[in-house]
Chains A and B, each alone.
Chain A
Amino acid sequence: MNKIVWLSSYPKSGNTWCRIFLENLQRRESTPANINELSIRPESRRSHIDDVIEMDSTELTIDEIDDLMPEVYQYWSNNAKELFFLKIHHAYTYLQNGQSFIPTKASYGAVYLVRNPLDVVVSLSHHNRENVSDSLKKLSDNQHCSGNLDDKFGYLTRQKLLSWSDHILSWLDNPDIRVLMIRYEDMKLNPIITFRKLAKFTDLYFSEAHLERAIRNSSFDQLRDQEQKRGFREKRPGSMSFFRKGEVGGWRDQLSPQQVNQIIEDHSDVMTRLGYLTPDRRLVY
């Protein structure tokens, strides 16, 4: 019961970085964890789901899979000896029967990662090899889904993302499980304070030296260096790299004033709540 710590976020908000940090924090060796052998897995990987449902999930519709997932999470939680992390991009949604997609009895809590949507949109367009305007539409689409949409094979099942704002509100305001909200910008600008908060929330044992080493071993330069040498299996085919720039405020060289205004227009409430926009509508990062 209650063994899953969700690592939840809208895509391109630092989830993979966070996974790699936790991997390094749990690691005994002083060398950096191999980014291609991460034990913290995405919850929507078909092979793991198939093991539990005793069926080939590619022979189920995406709605049938969604109906099964709360039971799959519960099974994983019930059969775990200790707390474990699961990466998730699903919004906190409900099935048609009113049941929560994220079962309360399987959940220890959630680390919810957020990032300035102006940087998210730029990162998403590079990741998906699409125009910024297409990524921008996705951020504002409250029906948006990613992953496999049942017309071809995908290693991951469908993930209901909703819009960027709705995704965030669905998790932060969920009535059932406790959530620690972490901002990408704080991970970047105040790593020790931020990662310490994250590690404490997850009940992991660590020393300060250990924490600092884990931060060093998951630095952006380290990750990019590993990707350049050995590649990264989670990179989309055709995209240049997964660990591209990782900057705070990188959007300033990439977005037009109209695109910036559009994002602010669509997401101002949540941007203000998270500190990305001041009450008088000035951008913080």
Chain B
Amino acid sequence: MKHYYFYHAFGLSLSSEILLKELVSTEDMTTPDIKITYGKVPKELDGNNVITKVRNQIAPNQFLLHVDKIARYYACNGNRIVVEKHPEADLSSLVLFLLGPALTAILCQRGYFLLYASAIEQDGKAIVFVGSSGVGKSTTATALVDQGYKLLSDNICLLSVDKSGELILTPSHPFIKLWKDTLEAFHTHRFLDGAIPLRPDLKKYGVILSEPSHYSQQSLPLKKVYILQNKIPELFKIESLNPTLAADLLVNYIYHYSSLKSDSKELEYHLDICTMIANRVPVSLIERFEGDKPLKESITLLINELVHDSNCL
């Protein structure tokens, strides 16, 4: 008989045949929202609405991904992931792509609004750092966790509108991915010591935040959004954006924005949320030159601003 592990992530319950140390464990459940099993995965997706890219295919409610010498992943109907393991695969690599593209595909199939962003909690609300890969989202979030704030999400943020019309951030799981040089340059040894390589041949590390004081699993109202950008001037700049400009910029960070364009209803929903964010919470743009020093400066100024905002409450 197969053994299953039970977890929570993105506000959903998961049962998994695969051990997922990165997620928060929960009690046994009869009807999980998402079921993850080992099994046979289709060779390819059929039908008219299939988009075939490089070693992956996307169709309505289906996603197929092939990672060479690791696994083939099939995510479907927003509730099921099947993993066909390659005989030579290492478990850490297999889990990395399971919790990355495969799980995110499930969230997309459920029609969720996802942003490329990391988030922390401040005064019972969510502060979100939006930006593209390499801009410093995870580094900023980790530096703030080091200052006593709680992590809500790293890299992908799930936002929705509740019944009262309030924007809500639903946390992912207490796990941060960082490059080794960033870990050494920015963070205390407690994070460095707990860091494990994401894959055997990679110098990118994962930090599981196991201390309850370091993370929160509670869905929280959105308080403020910072958009992080690397820019040309070698000067740090932070400015409040007007709602029109904020909405225009946020659109660039919608997860899988290009894929959404084929579904006008989905696209409209996503654009509406961007507009809602821009109109209802303050959105600031942080521009800085790339590199450790400007990033450190921006984090220090950010911490000062968050402390100031908190004191003004």
Contacts and interface: CB of A to CB of B under 8 A. Distances in A.
B290 A237 contact: yes
B122 interface: no
A75 B56 CA distance: 12
A173 interface: no
Interface in B14-71: 53-56, 58, 63, 65, 67-68
Contacts of A36: 232
Interface string A52-72: 111110110100100110011
Contact of B68 (A47, A58, A67, A155): A67
B233 A231 contact: yes
Given A64-B68, A237-B289, A47 B202 contact: no
A160 interface: no
B181 A53 contact: no
Interface in A22-48: 36, 46-47
Interface in B227-261: 231-234, 258
A236 to B, nearest CB: 10
Contact of A59 (B54, B65, B199, B234): B199
Given A71-B54, A151-B181, A233-B232, A46 B133 contact: yes
Given A51-B258, A58-B134, A233-B232, A152 B182 contact: yes
Contact of A151 (B67, B101, B180, B289): B180
B203 A71 contact: no
B67 A75 contact: no
Given A36-B232, A46-B133, A155-B134, A53 B179 contact: no
Contact of A52 (B54, B132, B201): B54
B53 A152 contact: no
Per DSSP, chain B at the interface is loop
Given A64-B68, A151-B181, A54 B133 contact: no
Contacts, number: 82
Nearest to A72: B54
B100 interface: yes
B21 to A, nearest CB: 17
B204 interface: yes
Interface in A211-266: 230-233, 235, 237-238
Contact of A50 (B58, B133, B180): B133
Interface in A145-167: 150-155
Given A58-B204, A61-B201, A52 B100 contact: no
A54 B198 CA distance: 18
A59 B204 contact: yes
12 contacts: A51-B258, A54-B53, A54-B101, A59-B96, A59-B199, A59-B202, A71-B55, A150-B201, A151-B179, A151-B203, A155-B134, A231-B234
Interface of B: 53-56, 58, 63, 65, 67-68, 96-97, 100-101, 132-134, 177, 179-182, 198-199, 201-204, 231-234, 258, 289-291
**Complex A-B, nearest 6 residue pairs according to Cβ-Cβ distance, in ascending order:** A231-B232, A54-B56, A153-B134, A152-B181, A71-B54, A151-B203
